[in-house]
């Protein structure tokens, strides 16, 4: 099949769109894993719905664990401060 046959069959444009979508997924995942906000990512990608952005912006299990640890540490610090002022 020659290039013009691929184009008329819709193969080349679809392949290009697939690569663009893959790049968007990769960018979005890296953005979220670096701590970028979902709202900012939605604006960057031009999505009208945050639900679409959530699909693109999957986060790693490692990030979830790091964030859970960070929040736990922040809360523990608040509890230590609260207990110190209660005494």
Work out how many domains the chain is built from and give that number. Answer: 1
* 25 dihedral zone (left: phi>0; alpha: psi -120 to 50; beta): alpha
Percent of residues, the chain, with pLDDT higher than 90:
14
Other beta carbons within 10 Å of 21 = 11
Given a contact cutoff of 8 angstroms between Cβ atoms, the answer to whether 21 and 40 are in contact is no
What is the extent of the structural domain holding 24? 3-86
**pTM (predicted TM-score):** 0.51
Per-residue pLDDT, averaged over 26-34, amounts to 86
Tell me the pLDDT band of 69, cut-offs 50, 70 and 90.
Answer: very high
């Amino acid at each position: 099949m020659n290039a013009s046959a691929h184009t008329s069959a819709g193969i080349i444009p679809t392949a290009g769109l697939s690569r663009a979508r893959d790049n968007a997924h990769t960018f979005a995942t890296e953005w979220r894993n670096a701590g970028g906000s979902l709202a900012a990512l939605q604006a960057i990608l031009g999505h009208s719905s945050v639900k679409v952005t959530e699909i693109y912006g999957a986060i790693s299990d490692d990030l979830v664990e790091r964030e859970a640890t960070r929040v736990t540490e922040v809360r523990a610090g608040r509890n230590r401060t609260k207990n110190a002022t209660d005494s």
